[in-house]
Chains A and B, each alone.
Chain A
């Protein structure tokens, strides 16, 4: 396999975990790996990226400490031109969403997003992604493309581990006139609310709860069970629970959760992203085909209100 370029991500001085997952994915492909990290303080991330299998780390100095889509796009384009990699790996993250498609289009790269499996079948690079709400998998290839840009689904590849001393090189990002000015980061105000990334037992409700007035039943149940009440995106979007209680890609990751009781949650991929660390998932859903049942350890096909009520009684009894 020829060259692989990995674009590491960072935010607010922290390397994003997806960076190490991308390196792991690259390791699996088995070619020389160049990891690039772009930013004013790109040097700071070199130690964390010095992993086995990484052949070179490129720090690309840009005028901005944080991600800027136009700078990022120009820098990655320049790297591709310079390195002519066969594969470029980006995280399927909000940052990548802001420039990957534009870049692929402009350079005419092979392109697939949100891939969770990458392999070589003969001479062909084949990426697998999902479609139709995760109900099918799709294998795509890239005939005639010398360089393929892939955005890789987070939390699929196990982060690369170990340490090594790859070569490092610093270059400057191409000068760009920016049209947008990313500003401050805003933490969703959770007030004095509990930090759900620290709790070990979560009761989470989804669309199945139907309406705001029904939340109370599950608030009571969570209290009885000694669990923290959380929710999926639609519930937080509706304002029925604070955004700080939302588990998922755009919410919080239940990173210390041992038991996760999902009620009326069908299991959209964005929600599952927040549950990847959970020890035991128990799902209650009326739809036996709900995708939550494919990640849960235990499942109950049934009405969340009925089960909720029975559970509360059983816990009290």
Chain B
């Protein structure tokens, strides 16, 4: 019994960031990398299933990216994942989520898990496409934006809830194996202590190249992607009228605004 959790190392922007000279992305100097917030939840969901099971459940995390991604994978290993895989080849650089889905599908075929989790979206590019794209590549049952899950390892069916807009959820039953994209709030992710992360150094991270996955170089990279970045820019921002002064003065102005509104 195996659960595969696809994770991503995402970038946040540092103070006073600058756009790269080619205008296509932010200068890497200003990127702060960390594990995607959604992935904390999907890994936790897998760990919960593993820990609740009396049988043997293996949790395997997989990510696509260069060597720096190992740090995020180690965090997953520290939280209890049994094994980590990292897929990389320089040809992958610049790929969009559809290529990621293709690569992950190759990993799924190789690993043959009983269940695949991915985050709903990544916090950096927020395409919200990789997980469901992967399901499409595999032709597997899938559900997006899952905020509750009832699944026994190896079961043929899972019941879950999808989080819809406007405070509504929908219950769904689906056949397994399946691909689920996991929403924030489904559980409370555990803490990975730094010692745990350090000790996870001892657990192996298998690096897979295109050859290992049987994926042709021509099917990855920006040319194989469904979109291409033309330009990245910092949008002119609308700016609130700032209320200055001491907290008391600011509060006094707020009272005016409130009274004005109530009088209106």
Q: Which residues of A contact B (CB under 8 A)?
A: 11, 69, 73, 92-95, 97-106, 108-114, 126-127, 130-133, 135-143, 145, 179-188, 190, 201, 225-226, 233, 236-237, 243-244, 246, 249-253, 258-259, 261, 279-283, 291, 293-303, 306-307, 309-311, 313-315
Contacts and interface: CB of A to CB of B under 8 A. Distances in A.
15 contacts: A105-B133, A106-B136, A110-B226, A136-B13, A139-B229, A179-B178, A180-B173, A188-B169, A236-B185, A253-B166, A258-B264, A293-B242, A294-B239, A298-B257, A313-B251
Contacts of A283: 240
In the A-B complex, the 7 residue pairs with the smallest Cβ-Cβ separation, listed nearest first, are A102-B136, A299-B240, A101-B129, A180-B174, A310-B251, A237-B185, A179-B141
Contact of B163 (A94, A301, A303, A306): A94
A130 to B, nearest CB: 8
Interface residues of B, number: 81
Given A101-B133, A112-B227, A137 B172 contact: no
Contacts of B132: 97-102
Nearest to A180: B174
Contacts of A139: 229-233
Given A182-B172, A258-B261, A105 B101 contact: yes
B167 A298 contact: no
Contact of A297 (B17, B166, B241): B241
B258 interface: yes
Contacts, number: 266
Given A105-B98, A140-B227, A183-B172, 10 more contacts: A132-B11, A136-B232, A139-B230, A143-B228, A179-B178, A294-B239, A299-B239, A300-B243, A311-B254, A315-B258
A92 to B, nearest CB: 8
Interface string B245-264: 00110111111011001101
Contacts of B129: 100-101, 104, 111, 113
Contacts of B133: 101-102, 104-105
B137 to A, nearest CB: 6
Given A131-B124, A180-B143, A298-B241, A244 B167 contact: yes
Main secondary structure of the interface of B (DSSP, over half): mixed
Contacts of B173: 180-181, 183
B234 A140 contact: no
